[in-house]
């Protein structure tokens, strides 16, 4: 079947009504652009989180207390000894010589003051191995030394974002910072800029020795610490995670089927969790923005029905001079599909631009858009054009040429 004539007729019809064609594709453009932006941001977030995990190293484990929402209420209530303390960490270090590093970590949100300026920030309470474990470098000053930890010296290391928020001019090393209105700390180090991500800026931080910051914690907080552990490279991280789990169960006296009061994550497990979460976000967001594509498809069907009515005489003339039913149907299907594909192409371009702008603003970089998202963004609108253009095309092809020629 020669489609050149139906294709030519479809292009002429679209050119005749340029403004209407452009407005008709708007729903498709918005829907496709939204898909590309969402996928771009989610992929950027995933890449950012996994980069942080990668910086910690393939042999690094993360240990934390179990959270209430992770288990059914009745199971959570049966958990004994939900604490995770420095005593547990010391016992674990003694029980597992396969751990080359074991670092306590506690995160808290506090107010920081310096030279009359105030800013809310994240405080990380830890020890001198935290920077090495997380591959974080200093741009100025020094790391904690054993005497800082032993004597609970009032020292701190600052991130660059916090320095900017506090309006510090020049080198901040040696200046005094007040945290939580009652803890004065001397700035001894400045972190290299790491770059922020969506909802998380690792440069907006104060790092203090846990022995110093523990005075700011309640008794309950002191018993809910996090640990980072590095496994001997001769062991896999997953095997190390199993060994840590078994050791902590022995230390806590958990027996049989008693549920764990803690969680141990290897980088592989964290990667799987992050991929699952971002996959779910992408699927849910994709389902929501697909409504715009559906609305756009309905709009195209409506416009195509109007077009059939307006061009009734034209259809009659074409049939009178020999056009077959399939030629008429193909012409209108081509028009509908072309509108959707044009909207899809524009939407992809617009989505890339918006994704780049938002990604730069929120995460400092644009997330990569996978090939499947681009293919779907073009294929789905094309399919919508065919589906929603089928009824108007069928209606046009069934018009009686005599009646069509008499139509006014």
Q: What pLDDT shows up at residue 9?
A: 64
CB 190 within 8 A of CB 173: yes
User: What gap in Å lies between CA 282 and CA 278, rounded to an integer?
Assistant: 6
In DSSP terms, 120 is beta-bridged to: 111
Nearest to 135 by CA among 33, 211, 55: 55
By the 8 A CB rule, do 112 and 119 touch? yes
Region class of 71: left (phi > 0), else alpha (psi between -120 and 50), else beta: beta
What angle (nearest 5°) sits at the alpha carbon of residue 206, between those of residues 200 and 210? 115
Q: Which residues, 6 or more positions from 72, have their beta carbon under 8 angstroms from its beta carbon?
A: none
Tell me the three state secondary structure of residue 38.
Answer: helix
User: In this predicted structure, what is the pLDDT of residue 264?
Assistant: 87
- DSSP secondary structure code for residue 98 in this structure: T
Q: Which long-range contacts (CB under 8 A, 24 or more apart) does 68-72 make?
A: 70/263, 71/259
Helix axes 371-397, 267-310, angle to 10 degrees: 20
Please tell me the predicted confidence (pLDDT) of residue 282. Answer: 72
Predicted confidence at residue 194, as pLDDT, reads 80
Task: Find out whether 53 and 315 touch, Cβ atoms under 8 Å.
Answer: no
Q: Where are the beta strands (DSSP E) in 127-260?
A: 138-141, 155-158, 176-179, 183-191, 205-209, 226-231
CB 63 within 8 A of CB 226: yes
Could you tell me the two tokens for 84? Answer: 């995770």
Which strand (E) or helix (H) includes residue 104?
Answer: strand 99-114
Residues 63/69/72/76 CA torsion (nearest 10 deg): 50
pLDDT at residue 41, rounded to an integer: 79
pLDDT along the chain (408 residues), means of 10: 62 72 78 81 72 66 84 76 88 90 91 90 93 89 94 94 88 91 92 71 90 90 89 85 89 82 80 73 70 73 74 71 75 78 84 80 66 72 74 71 58
Q: Measuring CA to CA, which residue among 366, 395, 402 is closest to residue 36?
A: 366
Q: In which region does residue 194 sit, left (phi positive, over 0), alpha (psi from -120 to 50) or beta (all else)?
A: alpha
In the block, which residue shows the tokens 């969680």?
263
Give me the half-sphere count of Cα atoms (radius 13 Å) on the Cβ side of residue 351.
28
Q: Are the C-beta atoms of residues 241 and 265 closer than 8 Å to each other?
A: yes
| Residue written as token pair 């997330």 | 367
DSSP sequence for 242-287: HHHHHHHHHHHT--TTPPPSEEEE-HHHHHHHHHHHHHHHHHHHHH
What count of Cα atoms within 13 Å lies in the side-chain half-sphere of residue 195? 14
What global pTM score does this model have? 0.64
């Amino acid at each position: 079947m020669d489609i050149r004539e139906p294709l030519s007729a479809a292009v002429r019809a679209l050119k005749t009504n340029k403004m209407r064609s452009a407005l008709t594709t708007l729903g498709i453009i918005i829907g496709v652009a939204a898909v590309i932006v969402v996928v771009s941001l989610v992929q950027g977030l995933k890449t950012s989180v996994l980069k942080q995990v990668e910086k910690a190293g393939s042999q690094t484990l993360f240990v934390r207390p179990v959270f209430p929402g992770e288990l059914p209420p009745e199971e959570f209530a049966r958990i004994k000894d939900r604490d995770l303390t420095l005593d547990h960490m010391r016992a674990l270090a003694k029980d597992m010589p396969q751990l080359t590093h074991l670092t306590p970590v506690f995160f808290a949100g506090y107010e920081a003051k310096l030279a009359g300026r105030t800013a809310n920030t994240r405080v990380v309470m830890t020890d001198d191995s935290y920077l090495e474990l997380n591959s974080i470098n200093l741009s100025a000053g020094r790391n904690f030394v054993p005497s800082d930890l032993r004597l609970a010296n009032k020292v701190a290391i600052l991130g660059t974002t916090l320095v900017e928020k506090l309006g510090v001019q020049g080198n901040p090393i040696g200046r005094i910072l007040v945290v939580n209105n009652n803890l004065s700390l001397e700035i001894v180090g400045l972190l290299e800029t790491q770059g922020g991500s969506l909802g998380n800026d690792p440069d907006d931080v104060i790092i203090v020795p846990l022995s110093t910051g523990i005075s700011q914690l309640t008794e309950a907080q002191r018993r809910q610490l996090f640990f980072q552990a590095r496994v001997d490279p001769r062991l896999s991280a997953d095997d190390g995670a199993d060994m840590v789990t078994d050791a902590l169960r022995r230390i806590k006296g958990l027996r049989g089927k008693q549920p764990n009061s803690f969680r141990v994550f290897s980088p592989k497990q964290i990667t799987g969790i992050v991929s699952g979460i971002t996959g779910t976000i992408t699927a849910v967001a994709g389902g929501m923005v697909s409504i715009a594509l559906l609305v756009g498809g309905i709009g195209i069907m409506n416009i195509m029905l109007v077009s059939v009515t307006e061009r009734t005489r034209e259809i009659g003339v074409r049939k009178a001079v020999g056009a077959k039913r399939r030629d008429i149907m193909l012409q209108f299907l081509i028009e509908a599909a072309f509108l959707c594909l044009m909207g899809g192409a524009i939407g992809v371009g617009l989505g890339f631009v918006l994704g780049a702008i938002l990604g730069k603003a929120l995460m400092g970089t644009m997330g990569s858009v996978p090939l499947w998202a681009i293919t779907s963004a073009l294929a789905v609108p094309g399919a919508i054009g065919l589906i929603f253009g089928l009824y108007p095309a069928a209606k046009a092809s069934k018009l009686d040429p005599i009646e069509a020629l008499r139509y006014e």
